[in-house]
Amino acid sequence: MSDTELTSSPHSRLSLAILSVLGLLLIAAFAALGTWQLKRLSWKVDLIARVEERVHAAPVPVPPRNDWLNVNAARDEYRRVALQGRFLNDKETLVYAATERGAGYWVVTPLAAADGTTVLVNRGFVPTERREAATRREGQIEGEAKVTGLMRMDEPNGSLLQSNRPGENRWYSRDVGGIAAARGLSEVAPYFVDADASPNRRGLPVGGLTRVVFPNNHLVYAVTWYGLAAMTVGMLVILWRSVRRSVPARRDGRAGQDINSRS
């Protein structure tokens, strides 16, 4: 359709109006998404700062039983904590892990405290060939033990790729409730603790492999959305200018026809 045709009939003018409205709606939507990403950027920067502060702070006691209902990721995730008790080595659970050391397993062992509560402790990583407890007896701690590490939130239902299979003793996430039920544990805290890198003088597992990484691409996303809004503005401006230029041309054409008809 030519520029002249675009404004020469009611139907064409309606099409122009519809295109304009759709363009304006797209501009508003792209701008809103860009603004939302900027807000997400501010939130992410604040989150990273808070987590960095927690990770490097002096360890504090884990939340007691009367505070378990208040445990949440915003307040407690990656908080550096200290706890002590007795490891229940016969109830350890192996959770599949892919780490900088390769594929293997996290050794998640219940730590029974003196007050009757239990906290699941991810003691660290073992390679696949050392998954059997019999191959690393020297690394199992007997008697009273002290643990320092990072507080983590429950990971129910498995990973993104695999669901936990308690009946087959196959675990792909540190599912506190599922592991507690499978091992017959009670009074278990609704969180677990990743042990730090304190050397295990008795061998495996290797602690301190927690990756504290937060992807932060919100600025890129914001620029992309604002860029799309700007492109849509440009397209509308080009459309409207072409229509404006066509109007005088159409009038001149009609005037010429009138003169010829009089002649």
Beta strands in 13-170 (DSSP E): 60-61, 80-87, 93-99, 102-112, 118-127, 144-153
Cα 232 from Cα 24, distance rounded (Å): 8
Cα 20 from Cα 29, distance rounded (Å): 14
pLDDT for 102 equals 87
Residues 27-61 have pLDDT tens digits of: 999 999 999 999 999 888 887 888 888 888 899 99
Cα 58 from Cα 25, distance rounded (Å): 51
Residues with Cβ within 8 Å of 48's Cβ and at least 6 positions away in sequence, in order, are: 214, 216
Find tokens 């008790």 and name the residue.
Answer: 85
The residue ranges of the chain whose pLDDT is under 50 are: 1-7, 259
pLDDT for 258 equals 53
Cα 225 from Cα 208, distance rounded (Å): 39
Residues 139-167 have pLDDT tens digits of: 888 889 999 999 999 998 777 778 999 99
Global pTM? Answer: 0.71
> Span 79-195: which CATH code?
2.40.50
Which candidate, 127, 148, 136, 133, places its Cα nearest to that of 92? 133
For residues 57, 63, 67 and 70, what is the CA-based torsion angle, rounded to 10 degrees?
A: 50
